Structure 1
Amino acid sequence: MGRYDRLSPVDTAAKFIQRHYENCEGALLAGSVVRGEATKTSDLDIVIFDRNIQSSYRESLFELGWNIEVFVHNLTSYKDFFASDCERARPSMPRMVMEGEVIIDKGIITSIKNEAKELLDKGPAKWSTETVNTKRYFITDALDDLIGSDDRAESIFIVNTLAEQLGEFVLRTNNRWVGDSKWVIRSLKNYDKGFTVRFIDAFDTFYQTNKIDKIIILVDEVLNPYGGRFFDGFSLGK
């Protein structure tokens, strides 16, 4: 079966599960295809719950005309993933479970979805003052590097780092989940669409024109409520 005559995501997930996990207690189809954000390269994220699985695992494969990512758990192993994802403030597994479309449910999915929702609604742990100051320092350091840089190639990578650091700072200081790659912007949009427009514009302006004025303004706007740029007096491990 080719990519252009393949089954729908839901039908594919159901057939895939029937082939490989027919005895599972629960299964969900998650990811961009259920959020209505699928692109031509989107894959299928399938979460399996099977009490007979000894330990959780993840597998990537091509089947039924789709790239498929399968996340397999027993009825307790997913809890460790929930906890570790929330600790790093990147709730990939809880989000997949919460948004997932039920394909199979033998009476377990509702409680697992409720666990995921409770964690997502709670938000990540609040940063300590020490953590906020440490993050301020590293953002300040990156900004200073950018201001002093006269090498376009180096500046590109400094800006990349600064965008990640600043996005994380905004989200975590506002009790919001963060993300990797495309989820950085998605998380920012979920927090504040207006700010996200200015965030994108500041960094895009640099990429197009090499001008950093908007980045400097944005950094100061974000840091000022927490004391502004921070260098003098910073210490770590003293």
Structure 2
Amino acid sequence: MSFLNKLDHIEAAKHFIHKYFPNCQGALLAGSVVRGEATETSDLDIVIFDASLNSSYRESLKELGWDIEVFVHNLTSYKHFFESDYKRARPSLPRMVSEGFILKDEGIIEEIKKEANELLDKGPERWTVETIKIKRYFITDALNDFIGSSNRAEDLFIANTIAELVSEFVLRTNCKWIGSSKWLVRSLRNYNEDFANCFVEAFDSFYTTGEKDRIIKLVDEVLHPFGGKLFEGFSLGKM
């Protein structure tokens, strides 16, 4: 079934709720279909709140031609995931709840959305000076490997590591949420569109031409306000 011929995403989600969770107290549809960013391979992300459940779970299914990811919680289990997402600075569930289109509500969704929005507005926990120092060291170590390497295959994967470390560093030192995969660049754009463009262009240039200078320059500029690259004198766990 092609994307254009699928049942409307909201109608499909409502059908799914009626079939599998008819007694739930609340349900939300989130993800790319709600943000207007759906593609041929987009799935339906559905969050369920059901007081009868003892614990939370996640499950993948197919229904009416859609791939469906369902995130099922009772009326308290979601709080643990909110806290876990806050600690890892990746607000997956709070973001789904915040942006979610209400499919069903028996008077619980408003409060849960309020909790999600408050957490998102708060931002992640600020990094300590010691954490910043450790992160500077690991970025420096990866950059040195990158500069010294003459192996194209190894260069590709060192560059991937640098992209993850540097994006995390920029976002966390500015108290912003981080992301992985497609959410890495989305998180950078949410923080600063101009920086995100420079970041993408630097890595795109390397992947296309093998030229490393733009990545090296980008890393130097990111680390400079925090003391620059760090190697000599760094220690971890020394008593």
- TM-score tier (shorter): over 0.9
SS at match of 1:29: strand
Please tell me the root mean square deviation across aligned C-alpha atoms, in Å.
0.9
C-alpha distance in 2 between matches for 1:114 and 1:4: 34
Q: Displacement of 1:6 after TM fit? A: 2.3
**Paired residue type of 1:151:** N
Cα deviation, 1:76-133, whole Å, max 9, x if unaligned, reads 0000000001100000000000000000000000000000000000000000011000
Q: In the alignment, what sits opposite 1:163?
A: 163
Stretches of structure 1 that go unaligned for 5 or more consecutive residues are none
C-alpha distance in 1 between matches for 2:24 and 2:156: 48
SS at match of 1:175: coil
2:85 paired with 1:85: yes
Q: In the alignment, what sits opposite 2:211?
A: 211
Q: In the alignment, what sits opposite 2:68?
A: 68
Q: Structure 1 segments of 4 or more deviating over 4 A?
A: 1-4
TM-score by length of 1: 0.98
2:41 paired with 1:45: no
Q: In the alignment, what sits opposite 1:152?
A: 152
Q: In the alignment, what sits opposite 1:121?
A: 121
Q: Give the conservation status (yes or no) of the 8 Å contact 2:142–2:161.
A: yes
C-alpha distance in 2 between matches for 1:97 and 1:5: 28
Q: How many pairs were matched up?
A: 238
Q: Displacement of 1:7 after TM fit? A: 1.2
Cα deviation, 1:127-153, whole Å, max 9, x if unaligned, reads 001100000000000000000000000
TM-score by length of 2: 0.98
2:76 paired with 1:57: no
**Paired residue type of 1:88:** R
Stretches of structure 2 that go unaligned for 5 or more consecutive residues are none
Percent pairwise identity: 64
